[in-house]
Structure 1
Amino acid sequence: MDDEQDPRQRFAEECRSARELFPERRLNQTQLARMVRVSKSTISRVEICEGPIPPDLPPLLDQVFSTDGLFKRLYEQIAAGSYPAHSRRRMMLEPRARAISEWSPTLVPGLLQTGAYARALFRAGDPRASERELVHKVGARLARQDILRGSSPPDLSVVICESVLRRNVGGRKVMRDQLAALLGYAGQSTTVLQVLPFSAETHGLMDGSLSILTMPDGETVVYAESIRSGTVIEEPSRVRQLARAYDVLRASALSRDASADLIRELMEAT
């Protein structure tokens, strides 16, 4: 079966097969659930493709079954499939990138969002979404952040507009917790977080958000996104032009320390 065609079904089949063929003894669902610290009903739902997969389950399955990241890779494919078609390729490339540069003029980038912040965005974007749909969407978004927690996270550069920090998403507590999370990321050695102040002048990336992904082979691709559409750009001259615009944007942003000071000031005032 092709992983990309139906990774959810493949995930279920691999879980069931690995459980039944466990080297020491055949495991039932209850035994596997104890080993990965979830309920039996969770394992049952996973194996019949019902409901979302808990984000922390795939690496635990890989550990128990010694499957060298198989379940994590399948989960990444499942998560990518939950995004709009125009952004799925970006979601597939992101976990493999060795460096990521982000510009966001309107929202905290998905890689840095808290669950409550993401939930507020999804709720506002689709008021009729069911609770199950919201849980699934939030889980998929938070699963992207696994790449920042591994032993070899990508070098991450993020520039956000000052308006992102001042826009109240989800209420005071949600926003305060989100600002605190940004400070946590800003303190990591592999992350450079900068704020573009209101005082900055016109720049070349004013019409949308941008992600620059540098892959292990050195190839660089750009994902540009507007409100309801996005595109992966690979043409070398266009990539260089956008990368240069990002460099100019960084030069116009507050320093790393000044950005952290502003975030801290707004958090304390929230």
Structure 2
Amino acid sequence: MPPRRVVTGRSQEPRQRFAEELRQLRAGSGASLRQLGERLGWDWSLFGKMEKGETLGGPEVAQALDQHYGTSGMLLVLWELARGDKTQFKERYRRYMTLESEAVSLWHFAVSVLPGLLQTRGYARELLASGGSSGVELTQQVEARMGRRDLLEGEGSPPFRTILSDAVLRTALQDAREWREQLEHLVELSERSNLTLQVLPQSAGLHGLSTTDVMFLRLSDGRTVAYTEHGYGGELIEENVAVERMQRAYDATRDLALSPAESQEFILRMLEEVPCDPST
């Protein structure tokens, strides 16, 4: 069994330390990523992403690597520490927010909830509260989300395209007044010259983004990055191959969506189903 390395001089950030150990162990074994994948039965690209800190993999992968390298559970312990550490996510999210503010164009797909850029205050409050926020923290989060909407307002705002799965529009708020306000806000937004809104009907069936909320950012240097998100975190993707693969899935999904005019009519029909007086 290879000797354990001393802590001094090594990264103290759990995710970076995990990736660092993986790189060092493989280098010491003399195996390539492809050879490691063949020996353990996983796609070699997974190990490449783990060594870069782009993903942690699952506990079963960490256990298999422990067995392969003879590290007696050390990698699983590091995996658990890295999984519980939120610093890396916060850093990636801050970087994403910086890139979003500098983007020259944006396009997005939503699976089940509206993107923050399109949310009303009432929608944001109910959504964030459902995730466990309350009190002062909830108020601060709502205000921060409302501040993001400035990105799409005023002269020089970047073009933005959003495709909303119709599940997004069929998941109403508990407060009917707030839900009406949100739908009316979407109709108003759909009339802006810099915003294109499309609805993906349920009849479109399964597609390449069926389980993925994603935002693409075109940057001033010509690069495109992607940010995927779920209720408990997100991932900034900057690797060209991965971004291009997701872009192709987005383009195919857009081909299945209703036109902007048809999408606006879709939302207007939904508005008609919401009572003006929720008490009736």
What is the TM-score with the length of structure 2 in the denominator?
A: 0.64
Displacement after TM superposition at 1:146 (Å): 0.7
Q: Distance in 2 between matches of 1:214 and 1:121?
A: 28
2:173 is aligned to 169
**Bigger Rg, structure 1 or 2:** 2
List gaps (5 residues or longer) in structure 1. Answer: 1-80
Compute the displacement of 1:237 (Å).
Answer: 1.2
C-alpha separation in 1, matches of 2:174 and 2:150: 24
Runs of 4+ in 1 over 3 A off after TM superposition: 83-86
The 1-side partners of 2:127 and 2:264 are apart by 24
**Distance between the aligned counterparts of 2:273 and 2:163, measured in 1?**
22
Which of 257, 264, 278 is 1:260 aligned to?
A: 264
Cα deviation, residue 135, structure 1: 1.6
Task: Please give the secondary structure, in 2, of the residue aligned with 1:199.
Answer: helix
Shift of 1:144: 0.6
Deviation string 1:169-193 (CA, Å, 9 cap, x unpaired) is 2421111100100111110111110
| Structure 2 portions without partners, runs of 5+ | 1-86, 275-280
Of 194, 200, 204, which residue of structure 1 is paired with 2:204? 200
Equivalent in the alignment of 1:157: 161
| Deviation per residue, 1:111-165 (Å, 9 max, x gap) | 00000110011111116x21x2222111100111111112111110000110111
Aligned residues: 187
Q: Is the 8 A contact 1:183 1:263 kept in 2?
A: yes
- What residue in structure 1 maps to residue 126 of structure 2? 120
- The CA distance in 2 between the partners of 1:84 and 1:138, in whole Å, is 18
How far did 1:92 drift? 1.5
Instruction: Please show how residues 85-100 of structure 1 align to structure 2 within 5 Å.
Output: 85-100=91-106
How much does 1:195 deviate?
Answer: 0.4
Specify the SS of the correspondent of 2:202: coil
Sequence identity (%): 36
| DSSP-derived class of the 1:178 partner | helix
The alignment yields a C-alpha RMSD, in angstroms, of 1.6
Over residues 196-237 of structure 1, what are the superposed CA-to-partner deviations in whole Å (9 max), with x where a residue is unaligned?
A: 101012111112200000011111100011232211111111
Q: Is the 8 A contact 1:162 1:198 kept in 2?
A: yes
Distance in 2 (alpha carbons) for counterparts of 1:225 and 1:135: 22
TM-score (norm 1): 0.66
